[in-house]
């Protein structure tokens, strides 16, 4: 038994010795492998053999051999655009030192070490790519801005009487979240093929085929010649250049181009608006006059025509695709009747002169202009029974835009310049026409001081926004206001049916007489002024019917003294040596309370 145990022990010792020898042999082999070069034989980086080289040699070799591959500009394809960019500008570079280190570190495993002793193994190592995130983001943002292209539908434009096709454009935008990977992959490939960047393409609704159809079916025929429209025997020809200014072709949801005509713009176009207005004249009211005291029609009323934009467009558009004589049509128009005719006058009982009054004034350019403008606004007014007439509502604000010019007014007891000066002559004339027609004054006021050419107590002034002249037609029949003027006079007549046979005026004596003072003034607003006493006066209005007085009204007026105003010689008064100043108040705050 003892001899068996030893034998077994001897065998164990032999195995142990053998095993130790194997370990020592393997260790020797590993040490021998480590003693070889830093980079194992057969190691390549993109075809560059760095096997058997030390790390410094491997790094230098990679710097030299990979430079042309990884520093050359990249060709980038972004949609249908192509551009070139330096890798460094894109934040991309090859780290040759890290690549060589990787090649060496990968060779430290035992299998690789042993492989150096017993044979050569080919190893392909990928280069280490570095990405500068900030440069990469900046480059992609720039690329996105440059590549951005808005989608554009195909279309048609009209200019100078010609139709031009507008080519469709596919919209392009860079998909920025996928761009970094695309750049990195393209750079890592290291070949010269273009790097295709990820883009989003948006197709236009209207393609080239639809654009060509629209040109052939509508646009070119539309611009092939003029169209002619007729109304009331008058012809209006519209040429391609005018038509083109108001034509458009717009795509629908299905991308189909549909023509449209801006009928409002075409009607207002300077090239044809006057001719359209001439062909479609507006209505004209009858004008009344007097033959003695009998009312006659001095100008007949006229039916007018109104062209509606929508109907006009519907008439023009179909003509544009026709040829020759077929490019002619009628202008659709609606008849518009005048508001006032000879029959209307007879029906309303406008058959005789009810009252008339004239005011004379010294001629002055501003006065003639302003009075004529106010008369133009007043003439032909028809005031029905129970209606109220207003000077401000009828004449409007006395401004340059409304046709009035600067004149002279009363402000704080003095003459000064103001827009619309002179129209108080019209207001005074209207007040007296009201007075002698026997209708009811509703709002009126005399001037703050007396003006010699107006009748005492029977005159009126106006101030826009603060003092109007209003009267109520309580005569029982309509009143037609006839207003006319010359360079030195204004006349207003009321035509209708008399309520009274006669309206008489009486005037009492001046009372509460007050003497004027003297004031000095200067500057461009100063107007010289002669003195006049202030006083009170009462005017009676007597209504006579069938030979007897059937009523009476009294109108009492207070006039303040008109102080003498002397303008200093250093500041000559505007208009000095010219026409007599106008005695009128014509703006808010211009009339002194009294």
DSSP letters, 417-444, are EEETTTTHHHHHHHHHHHHHHTPEEEE-
Work out the mean pLDDT of the chain and round it to a whole number: 84
Of these ranges, 153-167, 302-316, 569-583, the one predicted with the greatest mean pLDDT is 153-167
Does the structure show a pLDDT above 70 at 308?
Answer: yes
pLDDT of residue 520: 85
Query: Of 32-46, 213-227, 396-410, 474-488, which gets the smallest average pLDDT?
Result: 32-46
pLDDT of residue 382: 94
pLDDT in tens, 72-89: 899 999 988 899 999 999
3-state secondary structure of 107: helix
316 compared with 121, residue with greater pLDDT: 316
pLDDT of residue 357: 97
Burial of 585 (0-12, 13-18, 19+ CB in 10 A): buried
3-state secondary structure of 312: helix
pLDDT in tens, 279-293: 878 888 999 888 888
Does the structure show a pLDDT above 90 at 497?
Answer: yes
pLDDT of residue 371: 95
CA distance 48 to 127: 11
pLDDT of residue 445: 95
Does the structure show a pLDDT above 90 at 411?
Answer: no
Q: How far is CA 22 from CA 10, 273, 584, in A?
A: 18, 114, 135
Q: What is the largest CA-CA distance in the chain?
A: 183
Q: How far is CA 568 from CA 523, 529, 573, in A?
A: 8, 13, 8
Is residue 590 within 8 A of residue 465, CB to CB? The reply is no
Q: Which helix (H) or strand (E) holds 141?
A: helix 133-147
Give the number of residues written for the chain: 594
Is residue 97 within 8 A of residue 60, CB to CB? The reply is no
Mean pLDDT, residues 256-263 taken together: 94
Does the structure show a pLDDT above 90 at 422?
Answer: no
pLDDT in tens, 453-493: 999 999 999 999 899 999 999 999 999 999 999 999 999 99
pLDDT in tens, 8-28: 333 332 333 334 433 333 344
Does the structure show a pLDDT above 50 at 347?
Answer: yes
pLDDT in tens, 222-257: 999 999 999 878 889 999 999 999 999 999 989 999
pLDDT of residue 577: 35
pLDDT of residue 591: 37
Taken in order 409, 411, 415, 418, the sign of the CA dihedral is negative
Beta-sheet pairing, 162-166 with 155-159: antiparallel
Is residue 508 within 8 A of residue 538, CB to CB? The reply is yes
Mean pLDDT, residues 124-132 taken together: 92
pLDDT of residue 416: 58
CA distance 350 to 469: 23
State if pTM tops 0.75: no
pLDDT of residue 270: 87
Q: How far is CA 282 from CA 11, 285, 301, 334, in A?
A: 136, 10, 11, 11
Residue 287: beta bridge partners?
A: 299
Query: Of 34-43, 234-243, 331-340, 428-437, which gets the smallest average pLDDT?
Result: 34-43
pLDDT of residue 532: 93
CA distance 422 to 415: 12
Contacts of 277 (CB under 8 A, 6+ apart): none
E runs forming strands in 437-561: 440-443, 470-472, 479-485, 489-496, 502-507, 511-514, 518-521, 534-545, 548-559
Query: Of 94-108, 214-228, 482-496, which gets the smallest average pLDDT?
Result: 94-108
Mean pLDDT, residues 156-174 taken together: 94
Mean pLDDT, residues 304-330 taken together: 91
pLDDT of residue 576: 38
Mean pLDDT, residues 297-315 taken together: 89
What pLDDT band is residue 368 in, cutting at 50, 70 and 90?
very high
Give the percent of the chain with pLDDT over 70: 85
303 phi, psi to nearest 5 deg: -70, 140
395 phi, psi to nearest 5 deg: -85, -35
Give the percent of the chain with pLDDT over 90: 63
119 compared with 191, residue with greater pLDDT: 191
- Token look-up 């929508």 returns 310
pLDDT of residue 109: 52
pLDDT of residue 408: 65
Walk me through the domains of the chain, giving residue ranges and CATH numbers.
37-107+125-152+164-203 (3.10.20), 209-345 (3.10.20), 349-568 (no CATH)
571 compared with 537, residue with greater pLDDT: 537
Mean pLDDT, residues 527-533 taken together: 88
Is residue 4 within 8 A of residue 21, CB to CB? The reply is no
């Amino acid at each position: 038994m003892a001899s068996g145990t030893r034998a077994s022990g001897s065998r164990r010792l032999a195995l142990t010795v053998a095993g130790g020898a194997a370990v020592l042999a393997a260790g020797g082999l590993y040490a021998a492998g480590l003693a070889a070069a830093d980079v194992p034989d057969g190691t390549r980086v993109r075809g560059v053999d760095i096997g058997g080289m030390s790390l410094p040699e491997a790094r230098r070799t990679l710097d030299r051999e990979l430079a042309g591959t990884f520093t050359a500009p990249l060709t980038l394809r972004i949609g249908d655009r192509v551009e070139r960019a330096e890798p460094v500008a894109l934040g991309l570079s090859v780290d040759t030192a890290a690549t060589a280190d990787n090649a060496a570190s990968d060779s430290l495993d035992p299998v690789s070490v042993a492989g150096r002793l017993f044979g050569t193994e080919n190893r392909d190592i990928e280069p280490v790519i570095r990405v500068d995130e900030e440069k990469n983001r900046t480059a992609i943002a720039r690329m996105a801005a440059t590549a951005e292209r808005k989608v554009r539908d195909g279309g048609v434009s009209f200019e100078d009487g010609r139709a031009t096709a507008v080519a469709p454009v596919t919209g392009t935008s860079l998909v920025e979240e996928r761009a970094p990977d695309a750049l990195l992959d393209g750079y890592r490939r290291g070949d010269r093929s273009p790097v295709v960047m990820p883009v989003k393409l948006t197709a236009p609704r209207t393609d080239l085929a639809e654009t060509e159809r629209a040109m052939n079916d509508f646009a070119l025929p539309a611009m092939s010649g003029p169209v002619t429209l007729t109304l009331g025997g008058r012809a209006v020809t519209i040429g391609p250049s005018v038509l083109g200014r108001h034509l458009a072709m717009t795509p629908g949801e299905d991308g189909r181009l549909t023509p449209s005509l801006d009928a409002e713009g075409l009607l207002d176009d300077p090239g044809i608006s006057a001719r359209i207005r001439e062909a479609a004249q507006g209505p004209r009211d009858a004008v009344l006059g007097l033959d003695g005291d009998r009312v006659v029609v001095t100008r007949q009323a006229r039916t007018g025509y109104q062209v509606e934009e929508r109907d006009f467009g519907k008439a023009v558009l179909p003509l544009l695709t026709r040829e020759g004589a077929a490019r002619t049509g009628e202008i659709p128009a609606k008849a518009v009747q005048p508001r006032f005719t000879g029959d209307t006058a007879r029906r309303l009982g406008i058959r005789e002169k009810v009252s008339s009054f004239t005011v004379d004034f010294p001629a002055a350019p501003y006065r003639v202009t302003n009075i004529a403008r106010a008369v133009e606004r007043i003439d032909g007014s028809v005031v029905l029974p129970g209606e109220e007439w207003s000077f401000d509502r009828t004449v409007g604000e006395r401004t340059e835009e409304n046709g009035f010019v600067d004149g002279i007014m009363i402000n704080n007891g003095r003459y000064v310049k103001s827009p619309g000066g002179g129209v108080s002559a019209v207001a005074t004339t209207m007040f007296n026409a009201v007075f002698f027609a026997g209708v009811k004054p509703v709002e009126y006021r005399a001037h703050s001081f007396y003006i010699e050419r107006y009748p005492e107590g029977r005159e009126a002034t106006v101030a826009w926004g603060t003092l109007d002249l209003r009267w109520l037609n309580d005569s029982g029949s309509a009143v037609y206001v006839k207003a006319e003027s010359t360079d030195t006079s204004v006349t207003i007549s009321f035509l209708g049916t008399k309520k009274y046979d006669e309206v008489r005026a009486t005037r009492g004596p001046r009372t509460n007489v007050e003497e004027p003072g003297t004031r000095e003034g200067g500057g461009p607003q100063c107007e010289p002024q002669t003195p006049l006493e202030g006083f009170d006066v009462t005017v009676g209005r007597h209504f006579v019917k069938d030979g007897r007085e059937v009523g009476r009204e009294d109108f009492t007026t207070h006039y303040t003294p008109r102080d003498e105003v002397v303008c200093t010689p250093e500041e000559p008064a505007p208009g000095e040596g010219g026409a007599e100043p106008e005695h009128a108040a014509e703006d808010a705050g211009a009339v002194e309370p009294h």
